[in-house]
Structure 1
Amino acid sequence: MSLITIKNLWKLYGDNVVLEKINLNIKEGEFCTLVGPSGCGKSTFLKMLLGQETPSRGTFLLDGKPFPEEPSIERGIVFQRYSVFEHLTVLGNVLLAIELKSSKLIGKLFGKERTKAKKMAMDMLDSVGLADSVNKYPSELSGGMQQRLSIAQSLVNKPRILLLDEPFGALDPGIRADMHILILDLWKKNNLTIVMVTHDLHESFYLGSRLLVFDKIRHDPHEPNAYGACITYDIPVGENEGAKMTKIENIIDKGKSA
């Protein structure tokens, strides 16, 4: 059985149709990259997977049961803009994620429980390459290091699904390449299911085990919001990548000029 099952999913905001007729099954352990023209609903789809948005209609299942309607610890997310707490150290940021999960009323652990949580946080920071920066504050970190911290925050509570919304778009090419290596390593070691939005086709092919193209196939110039995007291509990465990339580039270029 698929981890995520989606059948005839639609998302509307009033009369504005954002997504239509989305049909998708995602197996546990897949790394799905999402590409398509700007404004075609990729981030909206990601928010539905997180629980920030709900479908307007259609079947939307996790492990065969209705998707939780609010964010939960089984789903972690990393945004392009670093979502860290500036007043906390690197260690404090990751430790807080554990404490909020374990102590929902006061968000604080004590004694042996805090010692155990600190060990978990340190292990997570070591796995993302921040073991030497635990006492620094986010303002003292580079962009790449801040994004490593965001990833550590998201993974320390061992989510099954990691959602990535343009996480490396603001990074320099060299740092971005390092982050690619890191996320692939974490994906394999933690048995994660990853869904990632990106505008970089080369990144989508390099990272993903499966590439999903979102695009509008129905257009009405008199009612531009009457139709939404759907999944136009569902590509297992690895076969004839050059020809497939050219076709997808044409789709995205078409969307940019529309």
Structure 2
Amino acid sequence: MSFVSVKSVFQTYGTRPIIERVNVEVEEGEFISIVGASGCGKSTFLRLLLAQERPTRGEISIAGAPPAREPGLDRGIVFQRYSVFPHMSIRDNIVAGESFRRGWGRFWGAERKAAQARADETLARIGLDHVADQYPATLSGGMQQRLAIGQALVARPRVLLLDESFGALDPGTRIAMHDFLTDLRAETGMTVFMVTHDLEEAFKLGDRVLVFDKPRWDPQDPNLNGATITYDFDARNGGIPFQTLKEETHVLEEH
């Protein structure tokens, strides 16, 4: 059984279809990059995976559980615009991210000191250790985005959703965050869905690259039809379509 199962999902806002007939199966620990033109439902798909929205038709199941009705601690997301706690120091934002995994919330006493030490290690990895005692308002937009990414990663969700999360970062910082994400994914086995407009980034980080597009266009009404997954590339095998590889493997097994 696949870890994430998306079956015949449609999403419509009012009378406007956004995505239609989306089907995909994802194994636990896979990294799925999502690319496509603006307005093709990529961010909508992430919100459906998060359970921030529920599909008009179809269902999404994670780990064989019934479709979620609201976001849970097993899923974390970093949006295109950073989202951190402005009243907490940089260090405490990271500690808060780790505390999300605890049913009873905050750390106290010796546990808190240990969590702060781990937070300092994380801040060093994302290049923010020199501002650990400051507040988010004192940081640039790119630095706040780094903090938001670090906060989401230390929470170690089973499914991590990234919506253009690296777009505001300079090239050097972007590479450092790629390495941090890759290391933490190896440590935790988390499943990742990442929306990006950067094809190089998509194939560098992703095990698979999904392309969202509208297979049907009405020149009189461009919004008449929704988007779907038009290509599923295996980024681990030189960009060979993933579905084709599965079909060829099945044929070889039969013979």
TM-score tier after normalising by the smaller chain length: 0.7 to 0.9
Partner of 1:30: 30
- Assess if the C-alpha contact under 8 Å between 1:76 and 1:161 holds in 2: yes
For residue 172 of structure 1, report the CA deviation from its aligned partner: 1.9
Matching of residues 112-127 of structure 1 within 5 Å = 112=110, 114-115=112-113, 117-119=115-117, 121-122=119-120, 124-126=122-124
TM-score normalised by structure 2 residue count: 0.83
SS class of match (1:185): helix
What residue in structure 1 maps to residue 224 of structure 2?
A: 226
Aligned to 2:65: 65
- Equivalent in the alignment of 1:256: none
| Alignment check: 8 A CA contact 2:59 2:67 kept | no
The residue number in structure 2 matching 1:90 is 90
Match of 1:248 in 2: none
Question: Does residue 159 of structure 2 align to residue 164 of structure 1?
Answer: no
User: Structure 1: how far apart are the matches of 2:211 and 2:157?
Assistant: 25
Cα separation, partners in 2 of 1:109 and 1:207, compared to 1, 3 Å: closer
CA distance in structure 1 between the partners assigned to 2:72 and 2:19 by the alignment: 24
| Partner amino acid, structure 2, of 1:180 | H
d(CA) in 2 for partners of 1:101, 1:61: 21
- Extract unaligned runs of 5+ from structure 1: 245-258
Taking a change above 3 Å as real, the CA distance of residues 181 and 111 of structure 1, as seen in their structure-2 partners, is closer
**Do the aligned partners of residues 142 and 235 (structure 1) sit closer, same or farther apart at CA in structure 2, a change above 3 Å counting?**
same
34-43 vs 119-128, which deviates more?
A: 119-128
User: 1:16 offset after TM fit, Å?
Assistant: 0.5
Q: Could you tell me which amino acid in structure 1 is paired with residue 61 of structure 2? A: L
Q: Please provide the CA RMSD for this pair.
A: 2.5
Residues 66, 93 of structure 1: CA spacing in aligned structure 2 closer, same or farther, 3 A cutoff? Answer: same
How far did 1:102 drift?
4.1
Alpha carbons 1:103, 1:109 under 8 Å: kept: no
Cα deviations by residue, 1:136-195 (Å, 9 ceiling, x for unpaired) = 322444555433321221133321111100011112222222222222222212211110
Moved more, 122-131 or 66-75: 122-131
The counterpart of 1:177, out of the listed 165, 175, 178, is 175
Query: Aligned partner of 1:187: which letter?
Result: R
Deviation at 1:132, TM superposition (A): 4.5
| Superposition map of 1:1-258 within 5 A | 1-99=1-99, 102=102, 108-112=106-110, 114-115=112-113, 117-119=115-117, 121-122=119-120, 124-126=122-124, 128-241=126-239
What letter is aligned with 2:162?
L
Unaligned runs of 5+ in 2: 242-255
In structure 2, give the amino acid aligned to 1:183. Answer: L
For 1:10, give the aligned amino acid.
Answer: F
